[in-house]
């Protein structure tokens, strides 16, 4: 296996830059700098030399495998964060026999292949690196710590126990089995199915935490939608004008709403129009409003909402600075903004409380496959006419679906897509 190396900290000038080396030649590679490996997991301050020339003074850490991130011998060079120093050190490492630059996500892929983490933890690590809000960080950390793997192991244990009971009946088909195993099998399957259903519901919410909740601001033209968006975003993100129909497309602004990721959508005003461009904008507004997690509708005096309201949708009197409505909202003066933010936070906090351990659409699909197999097994189990081997096969299919969550079975088709989202140094 090649020895790989890469810059693992952000590129560019910094206080410190870190280069990681992993593989069988990690420790010998230090000889290129005129050094030997320091004591395991002990930091050593050493001069890196290129012949007689001093390249840098670096802090060197050595992690013998398997007690390392990748499970292989690993060396980390903590350099002064000069692009020139980093370039020189990478050039020297490229001259080491058997060494090469790491590909995107290759350190983490080796950690997976060497059993240092499961596939769900890999995804959790990717989400942790990409997290922008506190809710995203907490969710990613939970997956990265191996919680999903622990849950899957519990499901597998119960399903394997159920399958073993059924197979015991098969093995002793010609003898009298003193105990009817079906009631215990039914109890095990009911427990797993209930837990899977909870996780499937929570996965849909978790996906929104990963991607961000969408809030569409709707209303008639010139109802104050763009002004409200700017007030919530704290900047001039959308053009505001007294001329109706200024907004022709959907304007998106991402923000951190008390630790929750939210994307605000400013949309074209809803009205009948013969303007072709405005009509396209209104159609897009309606389409995005249907997909949004929550809608804010700004009313004009005497108007009824032009959409079918859903639970949690918020209807407010817009331009309260002009109408004098104490319960209304005004992006121009800030009236009602705090109440709106609190209400949005409460709604999304309640939804986030439903988040379970599964966090991705891939997880949800695998769980639903397992639920389908368990549903079929439970139907067969209730009918004495069906043999235990048919039920056991359904359980084995459910176990395979769950195994795909953590990479116990072949998931090669998933790996390229997952690791392509990683940076080179991870």
pLDDT in the model for residue 246: 47
pLDDT tens per residue across span 371-421: 999 999 998 888 887 778 888 889 989 999 998 888 765 445 445 555 565
Binding-site residue ranges for Mg(2+):
226, 247
Between residues 354 and 216, which one has the greater pLDDT? 216
pLDDT tens per residue across span 132-180: 888 888 888 888 888 888 899 999 889 988 888 887 776 655 555 546 7
pLDDT in the model for residue 286: 78
Between residues 237 and 122, which one has the greater pLDDT? 122
pLDDT tens per residue across span 197-253: 988 888 878 878 888 888 888 888 777 788 888 888 776 654 444 444 445 467 888
Average pLDDT, the chain: 83
| Residue 423 pLDDT grade (very low, low, confident, very high; cuts 50, 70, 90) | low
pLDDT tens per residue across span 282-300: 777 778 878 888 888 888 8
Q: What is the CATH number of domain 3-114?
A: 3.30.1360.120
Mean pLDDT of all residues in 47-60: 93
| Residue 272 pLDDT grade (very low, low, confident, very high; cuts 50, 70, 90) | low
| pLDDT > 70 in the chain, percent | 87
Mean pLDDT of all residues in 32-55: 89
| Residue 64 pLDDT grade (very low, low, confident, very high; cuts 50, 70, 90) | very high
Residue 66 has pLDDT above 80, yes or no: yes
Binding-site residue ranges:
20, 76, 116, 222-227, 241-247, 266-269, 426
Binding-site residue ranges for (6S)-5-formyl-5,6,7,8-tetrahydrofolate:
20, 76, 116, 426
Answer whether CATH 1.20.120.430 is correct for domain 134-208+360-406.
yes
Domain boundaries along the sequence of the chain = 3-114, 134-208+360-406, 212-352
Between residues 291 and 55, which one has the greater pLDDT? 55
pLDDT in the model for residue 312: 85
Binding-site residue ranges for GTP:
222-227, 241-247, 266-269
- Report domain 212-352's class: alpha beta
Binding-site residue ranges for K(+):
222, 241, 243, 246
Residue 270 has pLDDT above 80, yes or no: no
pLDDT in the model for residue 243: 42
Residue 9 has pLDDT above 60, yes or no: yes
- What is the three-state SS of the chain? CCEEEEECCCCCCCCEEEEEEECCCCCHHHHHHCCCCCCECCCEEEEEEECCEEEEEEEEEEECCCCCCCCCCEEEEEEECCHHHHHHHHHHHHCCCCEEECCCCHHHHHHHHCCCCCHHHHHHHHHHHHCCCHHHHHHHHHHHCCHHHHHHHHHHHHHHHHHHHHHHHHHCCCCCCCCCCHHHHHHHHHHHHHHHHHHHHHHHHHHHHHHCEEEEEEECCCCCHHHHHHHHHCCCCCCCCCCCCCCCCCEEEEEEECCEEEEEEECCCCCCCCCHHHHHHHHHHHHHHHHCCEEEEEECCCCCCCCCCCCCCEEEECCHHHHCCCCCCCCCCCCCHHHHHHHHHHHHHHHHCCCCCCCCHHHHHHHHHHHHHHHHHHHHHHCCCCCHHHHHHHHHHHHHHHHHHHCCCCCHHHHHHHHCCCCCCC
pLDDT in the model for residue 413: 45
| Residue 263 pLDDT grade (very low, low, confident, very high; cuts 50, 70, 90) | confident
pLDDT tens per residue across span 84-105: 999 999 999 999 999 999 998 8
pTM of the shown model: 0.71
Mean pLDDT of all residues in 325-340: 86
| pLDDT > 90 in the chain, percent | 27
Residue 47 has pLDDT above 90, yes or no: yes
Highest mean pLDDT of the ranges 113-127, 164-178, 341-355: 113-127
pLDDT in the model for residue 222: 77
pLDDT in the model for residue 259: 83
């Amino acid at each position: 296996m090649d020895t790989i190396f890469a810059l693992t900290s952000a590129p560019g000038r910094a206080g410190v830059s870190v280069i990681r080396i992993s593989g069988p030649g990690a420790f010998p590679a230090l000889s290129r700098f005129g050094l030997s490996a320091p004591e395991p997991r002990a930091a050593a301050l050493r001069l890196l030399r290129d012949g007689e020339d001093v390249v840098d003074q670096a802090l060197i850490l050595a992690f013998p495998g398997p007690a390392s991130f990748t499970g292989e011998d690993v060396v980390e060079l903590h350099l002064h964060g000069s692009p020139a120093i980093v370039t020189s050190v990478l050039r020297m490492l490229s001259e080491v026999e058997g060494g090469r630059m790491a590909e995107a996500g290759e350190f983490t892929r080796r950690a997976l292949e060497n059993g240092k983490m499961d596939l769900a933890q890999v995804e959790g690590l990717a989400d942790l690196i990409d997290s922008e809000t506190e809710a995203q960080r907490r969710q990613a950390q939970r997956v990265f710590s191996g919680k999903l793997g622990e849950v899957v192991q519990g499901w597998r244990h119960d399903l394997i126990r159920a399958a073993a009971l059924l197979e015991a009946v098969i093995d002793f088909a010609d003898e009298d089995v003193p105990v009817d195993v079906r009631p215990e099998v039914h109890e095990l399957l009911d427990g797993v199915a209930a837990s899977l259903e909870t996780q499937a519901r929570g996965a849909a919410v978790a996906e929104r935490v990963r991607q961000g909740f969408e809030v569409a601001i709707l209303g008639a033209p010139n109802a104050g939608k763009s002004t409200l968006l700017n007030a919530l975003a704290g900047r001039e993100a959308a053009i505001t004008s007294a001329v109706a129909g200024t907004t022709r497309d959907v304007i998106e602004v991402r923000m951190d709403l008390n630790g929750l990721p939210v994307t605000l959508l400013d949309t074209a005003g809803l009205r009948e129009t013969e303007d072709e461009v405005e009509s396209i904008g209104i159609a897009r507004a309606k389409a995005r409003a249907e997909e949004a997690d929550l809608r804010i509708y700004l009313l004009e005096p005497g108007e009824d909402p032009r959409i079918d309201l859903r639970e949690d949708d918020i209807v407010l009197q817009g331009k309260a600075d002009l109408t004098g409505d104490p319960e209304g909202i005004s992006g121009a003066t800030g009236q009602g903004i705090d109440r709106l933010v609190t209400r949005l936070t409460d709604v999304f906090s309640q939804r986030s409380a439903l988040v379970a351990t599964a966090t991705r659409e891939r997880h949800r699909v695998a769980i639903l496959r397992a639920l389908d197999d368990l549903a079929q097994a439970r139907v067969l189990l209730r009918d004495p006419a069906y043999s235990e081997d048919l039920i056991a096969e359904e359980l084995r299919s459910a176990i395979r679906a769950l195994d795909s969550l953590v990479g116990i079975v072949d998931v090669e088709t998933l790996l390229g897509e997952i690791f392509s989202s990683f940076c080179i140094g991870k």
